[in-house]
Amino acid sequence: MSREHHMLPVWFFVGVLLTIYGIILLITAITEFSHPPAVVLAQYHPGFWGGILLLLIGGFYTLRFRPGRRRKE
Amino acid sequence: MALTSLTAAGIWLQSTNKLISLSFSDLLIIIFYFAMMLGIGFYLKRYANTSNDFFLAGREMSAWVAGLSFLSANLGALELMGWAAATYQYGILAAHFYWIAAFPSMVFLGLVMMPFYYISKTHSVPGYLQLRYGEATRALSGISFAFMTILMSGINMYAMALVMKVVLGWNIHFSIWISSLTVAIYVSLGGLFSAIFNEVLQFFLIWLGALVVPVLGMIEVGGWSGLVARIQERVHSDDYVHLWSTLGSFSGNPMGVHWTGVVFGLGGVIACGYWTTDFLVVQRAMAAKDLRSAQLTPIIASYFKMIIPLIVILPGLLALAVLPYRLVPESAIHPGLHSYNEVLPLMLARYCGPGLLGLGVTALIAGFMSGMAGNVSAFATVWTYDIYQPYIRKSESDAHYVRVGRWCTILGVILSIATAYFVTQFKSIMDYMQALVSFFIAPLFGTVILGMVWRRATPKAGFWGLLAGTVSSIAMYALVKANPAYLRVIALSPNAKDMAENLYRALWSWLICVLVTVIVSLFTTPKHADQLTGLVYGFTTFPNDRDLPLYKRPLFWGAGVAVFFAILQWIFW
């Protein structure tokens, strides 16, 4: 966004949402490592890897588009 | 413990027979989503105080934001679940509704039609019709669009409540009211900004929430060859995994269609009609910051549209291969059986543990709510600009129209709730309501495209062509409903099935609209050339992008979509 009053870009909100979700998924997955849920292919721990993925994507967008950082659209 | 207290606090959270049970982390994910939506609405209110900001997001969206929003406005949960179900029923043929329905229509919008929408500085599709043809055509289009969009919003709301009841055991009233209030708040506060922001969020949620199904599913079946082998073992046919080779005859494929219907009916008329004239999606492109961004909006969206089958079509095929029981049509449901429409939730439940399940469910909820938000924001814009301002209160201040827009948003949500409750009483009405939408799309495309490319099209012809096309579509629908034998007449084959009716009816109604428009134009007076500036080919000056590097030109990216499309058709022939 190029508004003079510096509206936060949508990407920042994407980052915050995915970061929070990544944390929730990771904590859930870690607490269930020793007793995986009764789903198919649970041995691959998709929740853990999904949490990592969300944290990486969310972290990137949050830092890249955080308030106070000059951005060009 | 937290779940118990939530359940005790909200007696509407009933546990009935349900497909999925949510854990605490799943509920946390859902609750955080609602909090985020409301927070974004309150944050954006300060930026949505002029009509240009409230209705068109200030026309400052980048191509990427507008493009993702453009796609997400269409990518509702009803569509995700519906096409996964259709894939289970008809196989990979359902992918046509993503591939040939994406190209050429979305590219056509970007390269051919968007310049006229953008250069004319219109605020809506009915607004373009008013400039090109006059008030009568605008009124017919505006009123019908406003009516239909609220109807669809209500149907979506009812469908969501039903899905949440079946999948999660949630009370229908709870689902309707919580989602409606959330949408009403964030859209009335932030206008199109809010709708677009949430659509972009929804895009990420849908991808990340649904991706686990195709990834784990393909691991389970052992890749594409393993999937094909399992499907052949289950259904004793390889018709389910071929895109074009079975379309030589109506009886040669599970869907009962012919390639002419797919190419000209679906790819030509229905897809173009929807993507180029449905204001819900076109509004997102109009919100772009300049013409090049507006042109790139649908083109960017088309690339993602082409890969959506990964999370919609592939789960349907995987369900055919791995679910230990057969799904049945809604009409054949008995206790212990599951319907086609439950494919996606069943596959989510198969692979997703706590956390991931919440993400998947939130993606579905986000899809429903952003669909509703898109409908009410489009309704508010068309109502305010194309009905209220020209016919009820002209020449009011900008602030007045913004207030009308906010109240209209709330009115739209209330009407949607009323529609949803109406549908709960008369469930079969849903089929008729959805058919209602289809009556207008193809003729509207005929009217708009003729207006853009043929300077001779007259105001009277625009109105009568649109009316004739719409009435003919209604007549064909009613004929087939009254006597299914007429399907063979409309589809030109005794072997055509129900899906073929939609495709060929669209084609005929478009042709009738175009024919009537041309004939009436030849006997009536066109507008003067100076009244057509910026509205029609030949009287519009397009910016020259020859000085731009190749990778910045919309034509380059449009050509890329064509290549991508060709490769996919070849791979899955």
Residue of B72, B201, B348 to mutate, testing the A interface (most A Cβ within 10 Å of its Cβ): B201
> The domain containing residue B167 runs over which residues?
28-571
**Residue B44 burial (CB < 10 Å; 0-12/13-18/19+)?**
buried
- Whether B438 maps to a domain, the answer reads yes
Q: What is the per-residue pLDDT for B491?
A: 78
pLDDT over 60 at A72, yes or no: no
From A53, which residue of chain B is nearest by alpha-carbon distance? B208
Chain B residues inside the 8 Å CB shell of A42: 353
Chain A residues inside the 8 Å CB shell of B365: none
From B48, which residue of chain A is nearest by alpha-carbon distance? A7
pLDDT over 70 at A8, yes or no: yes
Cis bond before residue B543 (omega within 30° of 0): no
Would you say A58 and A22 are in contact if contact means Cβ atoms under 8 Å apart?
A: yes
Chain A residues inside the 8 Å CB shell of B47: 3, 5, 7
Would you say B432 and B148 are in contact if contact means Cβ atoms under 8 Å apart?
A: no
- Whether B14 maps to a domain, the answer reads no
Measured between CA atoms, how close is A68 to chain B, in angstroms?
16
- Whether B202 maps to a domain, the answer reads yes
Q: Which of A28, A40, A53 sits opposite B220 (nearest CB)?
A: A40
Contact A7 B219 (CB under 8 A): no
Confirm or reject contact between B166 and chain A (CB < 8 A): no
- Whether B122 maps to a domain, the answer reads yes
Q: For residues B363 and B201, what is the distance between their CA atoms, to the nearest angstrom?
A: 10
> The domain containing residue A27 runs over which residues?
10-64
Contact A7 B40 (CB under 8 A): no
- Alpha carbon distances (Å) from B309 to B231, B323, B341: 17, 19, 16
Q: What is the per-residue pLDDT for B3?
A: 29
Residue of A18, A23, A25, A30 to mutate, testing the B interface (most B Cβ within 10 Å of its Cβ): A25
Measured between CA atoms, how close is A66 to chain B, in angstroms?
15
- Whether A43 maps to a domain, the answer reads yes
The tally of domains found in chain B comes to 1
- Whether A52 maps to a domain, the answer reads yes
Alpha-carbon Rg of chain A, whole angstroms?
Answer: 16
Would you say B88 and B340 are in contact if contact means Cβ atoms under 8 Å apart?
A: yes
Measured between CA atoms, how close is A73 to chain B, in angstroms?
7
Confirm or reject contact between B350 and chain A (CB < 8 A): yes
Q: What is the per-residue pLDDT for A52?
A: 95
**Tell me, what CATH number does B360's domain have?**
1.20.1730.10
Contact A27 B212 (CB under 8 A): no
Instruction: Give me the DSSP letters along B490-546.
Output: HTTSTT--HHHHHHHHHHHHHHHHHHHHHHHHHHSPPPPGGGSTTTSTTS-PPPP-T
Nearest to B348 by CA among B310, B311, B305, B320: B311
ipTM, interface predicted TM-score of the complex: 0.91
Q: What is the per-residue pLDDT for B427?
A: 60
The tally of domains found in chain A comes to 1
**Spans in chain B with pLDDT lower than 70:** 1-17, 426-434, 437, 499
Measured between CA atoms, how close is B209 to chain A, in angstroms?
9
Instruction: Give me the DSSP letters along B289-346.
Output: SSHHHHHHHHHHHHHHHHHGGGTTHHHHHHHHHH-SS--B-GGG--TT--BGGGHHHH
Measured between CA atoms, how close is A57 to chain B, in angstroms?
10
- Whether A2 maps to a domain, the answer reads no
Residue B239, classed as helix, strand or coil, is helix
Q: For residues B98 and B94, what is the distance between their CA atoms, to the nearest angstrom?
A: 8
- Whether B18 maps to a domain, the answer reads no
- Whether B17 maps to a domain, the answer reads no
From B45, which residue of chain A is nearest by alpha-carbon distance? A7
- Whether A3 maps to a domain, the answer reads no
Q: What is the per-residue pLDDT for B423?
A: 76
Q: What is the per-residue pLDDT for B6?
A: 31
- Whether A42 maps to a domain, the answer reads yes
- Whether B20 maps to a domain, the answer reads no
Chain B residues inside the 8 Å CB shell of A16: 36
- Whether A47 maps to a domain, the answer reads yes
Q: What angle do CA B214, B220, B223 make, to 5 degrees?
A: 70
- Whether A4 maps to a domain, the answer reads no
Phi first, then psi, for residue B288 (nearest 5°) are: -70, 160
- Whether A70 maps to a domain, the answer reads no
Q: What is the per-residue pLDDT for A7?
A: 87
Q: For residues B489 and B514, what is the distance between their CA atoms, to the nearest angstrom?
A: 21
Confirm or reject contact between B6 and chain A (CB < 8 A): no
Count of A–B CB contacts within 8 Å?
A: 99
Q: For residues B555 and B393, what is the distance between their CA atoms, to the nearest angstrom?
A: 42
The helices-and-strands tally (H runs, E runs) of chain A is 2, 0
Q: What is the per-residue pLDDT for B428?
A: 61
Contact B47 A7 (CB under 8 A): yes
Which residues 6+ apart lie within 8 Å of B456 measured at CB? B521, B522, B526
